[in-house]
Amino acid sequence: MFTTGTKFLIGASVVSLLATLIYGIGQDGVLGTVGLASATVGLIFLTSVNAILRDSNVFLDDEAPVESTAAAQPAPGASVWPLVFALGTVVVAVGLITYQPVVVIGLIALVVAGGEWAVQAWSERASSSGEHNAEVRSRVSNPLEYPVGGAVAVGIIIYSFSRVMLWLSKTNTVIAFGALAAVVVVVAFALARRPKLNAGAVGGGMAIGVVALVAAGAVTGADGERDIPEFETTSIWQEEAILHPEEYAEGAAEGHHPEGLICESPEAFPEADENASETVAIKSSIYEVVLNDSGTLDYDVPGVVGTSTAVMSLPRSNPTNVIFRNDSDEERRLSLDVGTMTVEIEHGEEVEEVEARNQICTTLIEPGGAQLLTFRVDEPTFAFDGQPNPNGPDDAEGFWFFVPGVDSAVLEVYVP
Amino acid sequence: MSAPNHDRTKRRDSDTATSVTAVISKISRGRAAKFTALAAAGALVAGCADNAPQDTFQPEGTNAQLIDDLARPVFYIAGLVGIIVMAVIAWVVFRYRDRGQPIPEQTHGKPALEIGLTILPALILIGVAIPSVGVIMDLNETDDTECVVNVTGQQWWWEFDYPVQDGCVDGGITEPIVTSGQMVIPADTNVLIRGTSRDVIHSFWIPALNGKRDMVPGRVHNLRMQANEPGIYAGQCAEFCGLSHANMRMEVAALTDDGFAAWVDNQLEDYTPPEEGSLAAEGEAAFVANCARCHQVDGLEDADGVPQVARPDEQVYSGAAPNLTNLMTRNTFAGATFDLLRDECRDAVWEAPSDEFTDRYLEGVTDDCFAEVDLREWLRDAPAMRPMYADPEELEPTDGLYRGMPYLALSEDQIDQLLAYLLERK
Ligand SMILES: [Cu+2]
C-alpha cells in the first residue's frame, strides 16, 4: 500500500515525464529537454526509494511483529569511511585537473576507505551482537591497520623532523636537536621515576608534541630548505674558462680570479681552492703521486715494492684513483693533461667547435697535504701521436702529469 | 601397529599418534635410503674426477699451497669432530630408543659438562684461528712482488693489462700490453694482480693458484698469483654478475722465463698489415668498417693511413671491448668460453708436460689447428652464442650502450675475410 508521500511523488514523476515529452517534441531546445529529463529521472529515483523504504514502515494497525521490521533493527554505528570515500572521489577529480600526485593521494584514500567500509559493512552483518561484530571487524582490519598506520605516522614524524632540520641553519640544527634530545632524556627520566603519572596527561603532552612537530614540519617545509652552497670545483673553473672565454676574461680583468686555465695556474682560485668540498673518499690501493722538495714528481703503488718506473701506465676507460701528496714547501696543485678534446661553444644560435686541452687537477694543496684525484681516460695515448703537449717537458708528445709553477715536475702517463 | 600400553602414550590419542608415525616412517625409510645412496654415489663420483682443472684440492702454486695446508688439517679435524658427533647421536638414538620403558628422572643442568663443552670447541676454534690469521696475512703480502698485472673484469670477460714496469721479465716491460681471456705470467714468479671492475662486481678465481677475490668497481684489490710450474690453470668468475656469469671464465698460462720474454716481445711487435690483394687484406678493410669502433688493433690504419682508435666507451656499457691485436696468441675467446684450437691441438697444449708447455702455448693458433667453427658463429651472431644484452631495441637502461657484442649482420663473404684477417693477428 502506498503512503501519501509516495503517491505524491508518483504523480510528480508522471507530470514531469509528460512535460518532458511535450516540451521535447514541441520546442526544439536541447537544454530544456535535458533539464526536464533529469528532473524526471530524479523524481522516479526518489519515488522508488520512497516506495521501497518508507512504505515498508510499520503502520499502527499492522500485525507484523515489531522486531522483524527494518525500523526495529539497531542502526549501524557511525562510520567515517563513507565520508573519506567521498572525499577521495573529490580529491581524485581535483587531481585529474591539477597534479598527478593529488590523484595518487585520492586513490589511496579511495582504496583505504573502500576497504575499511567493506569490512565494516560485512562485520555489521556478522551477527546480531554489536560487540561481537566490532571484534570481528578488528580481527580482520587491525593486522593491516596497525603496521600501516604506524609506518605512516612514523614516516610523517621523520619527514617533519627532516624539514625542520633542513630549514634551520647548520649550527642551529645541531643546537635545536641537541636541546630536544636533552628534553627527551629528561622527560624519560621523569617518567621512569614516577611511573604512576596520569596516563592521560602524559598522552596529551605527547600528542601536543607530535602535533607541534608536524606543524613545524609543514611550516618549514613550505618555507623551503636553507641555502646549501655548492662549492666550486676545479673542473667548474676549467670548464668555465673553455666554454665562456669572454666572460671568463672579463672576470679575470676585474680581479675575480686569476687569468688562464685553473689547471695550468700556480695561483689560488679562492672559490675552488679554499672552499672546495672537504670530503676525500678513501679508496683502496690507489696510486700515489708525490711532489718532492727537489721539484720532481714520483709515483708509487702503495704497498707494492719495486714497481715505480719512469712512465706510469694506466688502463683505458677505467676510473683511476691517484692521491697527490705535496712534499714541497709551497702550495701546489697536480694537473693531468691527456691531449685535446673538442668542445661546443654556443654563441646564441650558432655552435662553434673548439679544440681545448683535456685537463683535470686538484686544488692547491698546502705543503705536506694530500688530495685524491679520480679520473678516467677514454682515449689512448697513441691517438695523439705527433701532437706536442704544451705541458710536457719541451712540448713532448703524450699525456703528462704536471705541477703548474714547477717546470721540472712532470711525469709521463701512458694509456694503451 | 598396536599402541604400547604404558604411562607416556596413554596421555595422548594413541591410535592416531602411532598410525601417523607409522606412515611417516614408511615414507621416509624408502626415500631416505634412495637419497642417501644417491648422495653417496654423487660424492663418490665427484671425488673420482682426475681431470678436474678447478679442483681446490690440487694446489699448483705457493699461495694455493698455503690455503691447502691450512684447509686440509682443518677439514680433517672438522670431519673427525663431525663423525664423533654423529656417532654419539646415533648411539644415543639407538641405546635409548623407545622400548616402552618409563621416562627416566629429568634433571636440569650439569655445569661441569656444560663448561667443558664450551671450552673444548673454543680451544679448537682458537687452534684454527691462529694459523688462519697467519695465512690471511701471508696471502696479503705485496712486498715480494716481482711482476704487476692490472686485471679488470667486465660483463663477461677479463682484461689483462701489463703496465710499464721494471719487473716481470729481464729488462722489464717497456710499453703496456693489453690482452684478454688468458693471463700469461712467468712461472715461479710472484705476480701481483691489481684488480678492479668496469661495471658490476666480479670475482677472480683460479682455484689451483689462489683463493678468489672480488673485483669491485672504483676499488683496486690485490691478489697474489704464483704458479710453480709452466702450465695452464683454469678459473671462472665467482661472483654473480648478470646474464653470462656462467660463461665468464679465464685462464692463467704460466710460461718459463724465456718463454714469457718471447711472449712479451711478440705482444709488442709492430703491426704487420696483410699482404696486398689477399683475402686477409679484404678482411682488414671489413674490420675497419665493422669492428674497429669497438675493438682496438694496435697499429691498424685505414686505407688513408689514419690510425684506428677504438672508442668502446661510446658503444659498450663497461667502456671496453677485447683488444684483438694478438687474438691468435691466446687459444680461447669470449670470456675463455670458446676454443680457438681444434680438440686435438687443445689437448696437446692443455695436457702438455710442464717442460713442453711453454713451446706449445707460444705456437698460438696455427692454420692447421684453428677451430674456426665457433669464431665463425660468433661473427655471424654473437648474442646467439651466449646470453648478452645486445638487442638494440632493449638498450634503454644503458642509454643505448651494449653489454656484450651485438649482432652485426655480416655477410658470409665478409666473415670469410674477417676470419682470414683475424688468423694473422698473432
Ligand atoms: Cu663476472
Last residue of a domain, one of A223, A256, A278: A223
Domain match, A358 and A383 both: yes
Is B29 domain-assigned?
Answer: no
Mean pLDDT of all residues in A93-108: 90
Last residue of a domain, one of B119, B139, B159: B139
Mean pLDDT of all residues in B251-266: 95
Among candidates A144, A120, A145, A140, which has minimal Cα distance to A130?
A120
Domain match, B115 and B163 both: no
CB half-sphere exposure, A219, CA atoms < 13 A: 7
Domain match, A153 and A45 both: no
Q: Which residues pair with B203 in a beta bridge?
A: B214
* C-alpha triplet B308, B312, B313: angle, nearest 5°: 125
Which among A285, A312, A382 has CB closest to B222? A285
Last residue of a domain, one of A223, A243, A260: A223
Instruction: Tell me whether residue B246 is exposed, middle or buried, using C-beta atoms within 10 angstroms of its C-beta: 0 to 12, 13 to 18, 19 or more.
Output: middle
Pseudo-torsion of CA B157, B158, B159, B165, nearest 10°? -170
Determine the residue of chain B that is closest to A416 in CA distance: B176
Domain match, B152 and B107 both: no
Is B40 domain-assigned?
Answer: no
Domain match, A218 and A254 both: no
- Min Cα distance B280 → chain A (Å) is 25
**How many whole angstroms separate alpha carbon B168 and alpha carbon A306?**
11
Instruction: Compute, in angstroms, the gap from residue B225 CA to the centroid of ligand 1.
Output: 19
Q: What is the mean pLDDT of chain B?
A: 88
Polymer length in residues for chain A = 416
We report the CATH number of the domain holding residue B322 as 2.60.40.420
* Least confident span in A226-235, A291-300, A387-396, B159-168: A226-235
* Confidence check: pLDDT of B38 > 90: no
**How many whole angstroms separate alpha carbon A358 and alpha carbon A286?**
22
Q: Look at residue B17 in the predicted model and tell me its pLDDT.
A: 43
Last residue of a domain, one of B85, B118, B139: B139
Domain match, A86 and A42 both: no
* Least confident span in A270-274, A404-408, B269-273: A270-274
- Reported as a single tens digit per residue, the pLDDT across A335-394 is 999 999 988 888 778 888 888 999 999 888 889 888 888 888 999 999 998 899 999 888
- Reported as a single tens digit per residue, the pLDDT across B70-110 is 999 999 989 999 999 999 999 999 998 888 888 888 888 88
Chain A residues lying within 8 Å of B222, measured CB to CB: 285, 303-304
Q: How many domains does chain A have?
A: 3
Domain match, B203 and B86 both: no
Domain match, B421 and B394 both: yes
Is B43 domain-assigned?
Answer: no
- Whether residues B219 and A301 touch (CB distance < 8 A) is answered with no
Is A85 domain-assigned?
Answer: yes
More confident residue, A240 or B212: B212
Domain match, A190 and A245 both: no
Instruction: Compute, in angstroms, the gap from residue B371 CA to the centroid of ligand 1.
Output: 26
**How many whole angstroms separate alpha carbon A251 and alpha carbon A14?**
86
Is A17 domain-assigned?
Answer: yes
Domain match, B299 and B202 both: yes
Instruction: Say if strands B191-197 and B182-186 run parallel, antiparallel, or are unpaired.
Output: unpaired
Q: Look at residue A137 in the predicted model and tell me its pLDDT.
A: 83
Last residue of a domain, one of B85, B112, B139: B139
Backbone Cα Rg of chain A: 39
Domain match, B268 and B249 both: yes
Residue A202 burial (CB count, 10 A):
13
Is A297 domain-assigned?
Answer: yes
- Whether residues B219 and A306 touch (CB distance < 8 A) is answered with no
We report the CATH number of the domain holding residue B116 as 1.10.287.90
Mean pLDDT of all residues in B326-353: 93
- Whether residues A304 and B198 touch (CB distance < 8 A) is answered with no
Is A74 domain-assigned?
Answer: no
**How many whole angstroms separate alpha carbon A403 and alpha carbon A266?**
8
Range of the domain at A124: 81-223
Which residue shows C-alpha cell 668555465? A240
**Chain B residues with CB within 8 Å of chain A CB:** 142-146, 148, 150, 152, 159, 161, 163-167, 172, 175-178, 192, 194, 196, 198, 217-222, 296, 298, 307, 309, 311-313, 318-320, 323
- Whether residues B220 and A315 touch (CB distance < 8 A) is answered with no
Instruction: Say if strands A311-313 and A406-414 run parallel, antiparallel, or are unpaired.
Output: parallel
We report the CATH number of the domain holding residue A370 as 2.60.40.420
3-state secondary structure of A262: helix
Q: What is the mean pLDDT of chain A?
A: 84
> b/e per residue, A52-89, with b = 16+ CB within 10 A?
eeeeeeeeeeeeeeeeeeeeeeeeeeeeebeebbeebe
Cell readout for A11 is 504523480
* Preferred mutation among B151, B193, B219 to probe A, highest tally of A CBs within 10 A: B219
Q: Which residues pair with B186 in a beta bridge?
A: B255
- Whether residues A285 and B178 touch (CB distance < 8 A) is answered with no
Q: How many domains does chain B have?
A: 2
| Predicted complex: ipTM over 0.90 | no
Q: Look at residue B4 in the predicted model and tell me its pLDDT.
A: 44
CA B411 to chain centre: 35
Chain B residues lying within 8 Å of A339, measured CB to CB: none
Domain match, B62 and B155 both: no
- Whether residues A414 and B164 touch (CB distance < 8 A) is answered with yes
**How many whole angstroms separate alpha carbon B19 and alpha carbon B10?**
15
More confident residue, B293 or B45: B293
CA B99 to chain centre: 54
Domain match, A257 and A126 both: no
Which residue shows C-alpha cell 705476480? B191
Mean pLDDT of all residues in B393-412: 90
- Residue B158's H or E segment, with its range, is strand B157-162
Domain match, B321 and B201 both: yes
- Reported as a single tens digit per residue, the pLDDT across A241-250 is 888 888 888 9
Domain match, B166 and B131 both: no
- pLDDT level of residue B24 (50, 70, 90 thresholds): very low
Domain match, A214 and A106 both: yes
Pseudo-torsion of CA B369, B374, B378, B379, nearest 10°? 50
* Least confident span in A10-24, A277-291, B319-333, B381-395: A277-291
Range of the domain at B158: 146-426
A228 φ/ψ angles, rounded to the nearest 5 degrees: -105, 110
**How many whole angstroms separate alpha carbon B366 and alpha carbon A67?**
103
- Reported as a single tens digit per residue, the pLDDT across B164-205 is 888 889 888 988 999 999 999 999 999 999 999 999 999 999
Is B216 domain-assigned?
Answer: yes
- Whether residues A285 and B172 touch (CB distance < 8 A) is answered with no
Is B34 domain-assigned?
Answer: no
Q: Look at residue B18 in the predicted model and tell me its pLDDT.
A: 44
Chain B residues lying within 8 Å of A300, measured CB to CB: none
Domain match, B407 and B426 both: yes
Domain match, B183 and B305 both: yes
Is A184 domain-assigned?
Answer: yes
- Reported as a single tens digit per residue, the pLDDT across A166-217 is 999 888 889 988 998 999 899 889 888 887 777 788 888 888 988 999 999 9
Domain match, B206 and B59 both: no
Q: Look at residue A352 in the predicted model and tell me its pLDDT.
A: 87
Mean pLDDT of all residues in A157-168: 91
Which residue shows C-alpha cell 658427533? B85
Q: Look at residue B396 in the predicted model and tell me its pLDDT.
A: 86
Last residue of a domain, one of A167, A202, A223: A223
* Confidence check: pLDDT of B36 > 60: yes
* Confidence check: pLDDT of B241 > 90: yes
Is B41 domain-assigned?
Answer: no
